[in-house]
Amino acid sequence: MEAHITFGPAAFVVPAGEAAIDMALPPHRYPAAWSDGAGAFGRNYGADFVRHTTGGLTHFATAAVLREDPRYHPSTSANFGLRVIHALTFTLVDRSNSGRHTIAVSNLAGSAAAGFIGMAYYPDGFNDTTHAYQRAAVEVTTFGAHNIIAEFAPELVHLAHFFHLPDRLADSFLPPDRK
């Protein structure tokens, strides 16, 4: 499942969307080499791709070493609010291979690695610890967003079928272990 998240189609498309946002709304004092032209888009795409890939690989490796179960376990509740809370809580507390609840060290390690890897290649003024923590926060948010999508995957598939989207596209919302 982690390989699907780290190397699946979304792993190549999401950084392109983030790079487009970085180009449309560049951060204050972002150098022209990172905010104007095709080369800037390539730099932003590469930076976002490396962040996501580093976060995913570190998450997977940490989960394997610490024997964390990297799969998302959906809520048993039918209540929308409780399901959202469950998904967000699962970002910080997950399960071990034995099924007991534990701190989601793999999510935190993946987020930290994703944030700090950028210190190697971002331009001056954006390669400091403050920006690294900000990028790590974005990556934690990404883990939370993934959990919310996984929680509501059956409803998203139903909605996609309602709008007559192709089955392959509709079923892409389902995590690999629930197809």
What pLDDT, on the 0 to 100 scale, is given for residue 20?
94
Q: Give the residue carrying structure tokens 């890897």.
A: 117
- pLDDT, tens digit, for every residue of 121-132? 999 999 999 999
Percent of the chain past pLDDT 90, that is, above it, reads 68
Q: Encoding tokens for residue 21? A: 């946002």
Return the bridge partners of 69, or none: 95
* Residue 91, domain extent: 2-178
Are 27 and 33 in contact by the 8 Å Cβ rule? The answer is: no
What is the spatial distance between Cα 71 and Cα 1, in angstroms, rounded to a whole number?
7
What pLDDT, on the 0 to 100 scale, is given for residue 7?
65
- pLDDT, tens digit, for every residue of 83-104? 999 999 999 999 999 989 999 9
Q: What is the mean pLDDT of the chain?
A: 89
Which candidate, 176, 141, 173, 168, places its Cα nearest to that of 155? Answer: 173
What is the spatial distance between Cα 17 and Cα 14, in angstroms, rounded to a whole number?
5
Please state the domain count of the chain: 1
- pLDDT, tens digit, for every residue of 63-73? 999 999 988 99
What pLDDT, on the 0 to 100 scale, is given for residue 137?
95
Given a cut of 90, whether residue 82 has pLDDT beyond it is yes
Are 2 and 59 in contact by the 8 Å Cβ rule? The answer is: yes
What is the spatial distance between Cα 152 and Cα 141, in angstroms, rounded to a whole number?
17
Residues 107, 147, 84, 149: what is their CA dihedral angle, to the nearest 10 degrees?
Answer: 160
